[in-house]
Structure 1
Amino acid sequence: MACSHLVLINHKGELSRQLQDLLEICLFAMQHLKVCRIQPKLLFVLRDQHDRSSDVHGDALRLMRKHLSEASKHLDIRLEDLVSLDPGSVFLLPSAFASDLDPHTGHERRWSTELFAQDMFRLRRKIFGTGSSNTIGDRFGEEGAPEFSTLSDWCLHAMSVWRGLDRYGPNLLHYKTMQEIEVQRELEEAVKHIGSQAINGEHGLAAETTRLLDDCTKRLNVGAKSEQVDAEFRSALGALQDACAAKCQAELGRCLQARRATIP
């Protein structure tokens, strides 16, 4: 998506939830990598379609656009700022081959259909029409995307995108759905809140450690043996740390249990 004005998504069957999840993760990666200054146009090429009327996949495309828009809101960006997805973004293709029994031999015979060939030519015209220089210049502007002005500039841009994916991809693309990303964010926020309360809250680790340090300092000032005070300080500090860790784990367990109850 970051290296092309037009992205062909060759898919067998209907627009599915799995395909939508994949696109949501792509949007998430595009937003975080910051390597794309254009809005690539998506074109779904759906193969093996028996009913190819214009309204067949209209509802599915509108539903996908709705979900992608909601996903982009979680990224604090509009869908239109990432990709272009219009009502004409679906191209339906029939099966490439037909089969029947040979009346002379009784064996199955397969052949390529003329209908598929004609539709493929229509798809090519649509692709070249979308990707023509005039169309690209009108929609994206050469000045706004200099990395697409020459082949050399595009190669440098593609190399830069690849380096970004190679460096940050494992941390961005290992998610399967946007729900996983949202759960990860909720978990991070919960851990931060629990840790902050356990350390800086009333009777937290910081306050208890300060009191322990003050007590040990007073004992040293009145002549207590430093070796004994040091040993007791280390023991008490370890107990405070263990108690704080146990409290954090218990609170995190309650948060996770409450979160699981909300998952359908």
Structure 2
Amino acid sequence: IAYHKNSTIIICDTEGLMSLEESGSLFDNQMITMAILSSNLVIINHKGELSSNVEDLIGMSLYAKIQIGGTPVKSKLLFVLRDQTNRDLKIFSQQLNKLKDNLQEKGSFLKVSIDEELDIKSDNIRLLPSAFTEDINPDYNIEQRWRTQTFPIEINNLRTNIFLSLDEQIQQQSQQKCLCKTFDYLYNKLTNNWKLIDDLGGSLLECKNLYALSIQNDLKEIAQKIIAEKSKTLYSQCKDLLDNELQKQNELSPVIYMKSTIDYGTKLLNDQTTIFVHEAIDEFISQTQQSYYARTRTSVQNNIEPSIRNTQNYLQQLFVEDVYRAIQKKMAIDFEKKLSKLAKRLTKIKDNEQQ
């Protein structure tokens, strides 16, 4: 917690992204998404130049923010690049503009403007020299290392820039009434944001970048079309087959009718579904032969069979219900026939007694 003017500042640290301890894109994507959803100002402290890894993380957090929706806070991203020997801001501003253009291009399928979701301007960048320098002592021929005088000066400048950025964000957010007024409100906001991220699911946030996500979405779209077509045909054809089977078995006794019909219908439905599953997978593979689909294809393909089997389960449930209704109807008819015969017999006995 820090204090600035009349504001209380809550500082949250992700403890480093792209680390070996938490290797994998899911953790990194969750952390940066949490930061962007919850913060007015996100400081990206990075060594060296703006890398593709930074671009990928921001891209996935942008996707998650859009998917979650309902987050009025437009976070400002401030890039702090350490250990810079050449601190020509113009060069790095061009890199930042390029990063932003790449995000917009790769995220075109999201159909949003980055400027509407994130504050990434060309001047949102600060360059820091190395905190230490080293050289060989010519007298003793040993390596010496010492703290530079430039670094603390630049740190103070960075501190000033951070507070200026916070002032801008506070002014904007206060107009939109998005500032946290109490710690209870902040706690509820943070826990709710994490729940939203968790509900989004690992399968989406495990993608390393927007390009991988677009490939996954393409594959899912292809699979969904095939699944919808096969499920519709499966339902239509098997519903007719099962209805015909109900009519064929109608002459048997109720107990035999129920067991034999359900067993036969279940086997028929399973056999037909298996055929449709194989056809669907073959079609999916034939439509996704491109090399850029290779890495993601299997994970999407594995969802085809369960989706079609859902239609099988639904048909199975309907069929069993139809069988029970048919049995009830048959038993009711048989009971009426027996009552009719009994009534006729009683009438005949009564007539004989009267004679």
Q: TM-score range by the shorter chain?
A: 0.7 to 0.9
Supply the distance in 1 between the matched residues of 2:185 and 2:247 (Cα, whole angstroms): 70
Partner of 1:6: 41
Deviation at 1:241, TM superposition (A): 1.6
1:52 aligns with 2:87: yes
Q: Which residue of 1 aligns with 2:60?
A: 25
* CA shift digits 1:1-43 (9 cap, x unpaired): 2222211111111111111001111111222233632211111
Contact in 1 for aligned 2:94/2:122 (Cα 8 Å)? no
- Matches of 1:46 and 1:8, distance apart in 2: 10
Q: Which protein is bigger by CA-based radius of gyration?
A: 2
How far off is 1:217 after superposition?
A: 3.8
Name the CA distance, whole Å, in 1 between partners of 2:201 and 2:249: 55
TM-score (norm 2): 0.64
Pairs within 5 Å for 1:1-264: 1-34=36-69, 36-132=71-167, 135-138=168-171, 140-150=172-182, 152-168=184-200, 170-200=202-232, 204-220=233-249, 226=257, 232-258=264-290, 260=292
- TM-score using structure 1 length: 0.83
Give CA-to-partner distance per residue, 1:94-121, whole Å, 9 cap, x none.
2211111223332111011112222112
CA contact (8 A) 1:147 1:153 kept: no
- Structure 2 gap ranges (5+): 1-35, 296-355
Residue by residue over 1:97-152, the C-alpha shift from the partner in whole angstroms, topping out at 9 and shown as x without a partner, is 111122333211101111222211211111111112xx2344x2414134434555
SS state at 2:71 partner: coil
Structure 1: runs of 5+ lacking an equivalent: none
Question: Which residue identity is paired with 1:54?
Answer: L
CA distance in 1, matches of 2:183, 2:249: 75
CA distance in 2, matches of 1:195, 1:172: 20
Q: Contact (CA 8 Å) 1:49, 1:93: kept in 2 or not?
A: yes
Question: Structure 1 residues 99, 192: closer, same or farther in 2, change over 3 A?
Answer: same
Choose between structure 1 and 2 for higher RCO, CA contacts under 8 A separated by at least 6 residues: 1
Contact 1:97 1:111 in 2 (8 A): yes
Structure 1 stretch displaced more, 31-40 or 246-255: 31-40
Shift in Å, 1:44? 0.8
Aligned-pair identity in percent equals 25
Question: Distance in 2 between the 1:20 and 1:131 partners?
Answer: 23
Residues 34-72 of structure 1, C-alpha deviations (whole Å, 9 max, x = no match) = 363221111111111121112212321111111222355
User: How far off is 1:88 after superposition?
Assistant: 0.3
- d(CA) in 1 for partners of 2:252 and 2:180? 77
Instruction: Give a deviation string over 1:134-175, Cα, whole Å, max 9, x none.
Output: x2344x241413443455533442333234334546354322
Cα-Cα RMSD: 2.8
- Bigger helix share: 2
Compare 16-25 and 144-153 and name the one that shifted more. Answer: 144-153
